[in-house]
Amino acid sequence: MELTVLGCSGSGPGPTSPASGYLVCGGGQAVVLDLGNGTLGALQRHLDPFDLDAVVLSHLHPDHCADVSALVVYRRYHPRPPGHPAPIPLHAPSEAPSRLAAAYAPSAADRVAADLSDVFTFCPLGEPARLGPLVLTAAPVVHPCEAYALRLAHGGRSLVYSGDTGPCDTLVELAARADVFLCEATWPHDDDAPREVHLSGRQAGEVARAAGVGRLLLTHVPTWFDGQVLLAEAMGAFDGPVELARAGGSYPV
């Protein structure tokens, strides 16, 4: 598999990166994990949105799903290809059909606009699912809304994406022996920080160490924090390869 970072800015787009969005290609499939503010534009530098095979959303905060509305417009109204392309699977938390419809529709009364079934086949996260030859596994994590960490496996290789989460056992279990662990590091470590919202750089390193991952990529760094500080924290807790994810960067899995 190949991971391409469409955006990695935490909590919203920044001056050099869209918000969270990641393209994973492997086994003849093209899948996006999250589609935050600005990521659809970045996606088009790598892939025609008509060639997407699936969308997977870790949770429904705007910095992880805002550009789903833009994808609806693109697939509905682009003059190519002729006719209506088949709906693509969208794996997401249970409220996705109503929440994404509300984000897209110009008003609550516009039921035609709010029906997204021509663009997506909604699939609630829970049981493992097949995306072609890729296997998607989701595990609930701690965040102020329904949220999941995600694991994609193919050909004996695995990528785990934390989504947004505080420290929790389910994240360590899902990430066990992953080849690449794409993990949020949202703020510098502070013992008084809320525990069920985000990870610090140190906590991301601790999860990577406990899970025995092969490589740690830090993501979701807000523009108001220094990524190098979070990188140093993670490196102090995990002795394997660690780096900051870079918008536009590609990483083999």
pLDDT digits (tens, 9 = 90+) for 12-58: 999 999 999 999 999 999 999 999 999 999 999 999 999 999 999 99
Mean pLDDT of the chain: 95
pLDDT exceeds 90 at position 191: no
CB 152 within 8 A of CB 182: no
**HSE on the CB side for 103, CA within 13 Å?**
23
What are the residues whose beta carbons fall under 8 Å from the beta carbon of 67, sequence distance 6 or more?
A: 21, 35, 36, 37, 38, 39, 40
pLDDT at 111 (0 to 100): 59
- Percent of all residues in the chain with a pLDDT value above 70, rounded to a whole number: 96
Report the distance separating Cα 55 and Cα 111, nearest Å: 23
* Range 79-107 burial, b when 16+ CB lie within 10 A, else e: eeeeeebeebbbbbbeebbebbbebbbee
Report the distance separating Cα 220 and Cα 86, nearest Å: 32
What are the residues whose beta carbons fall under 8 Å from the beta carbon of 214, sequence distance 6 or more?
A: 177, 178, 179, 180, 181, 240, 241
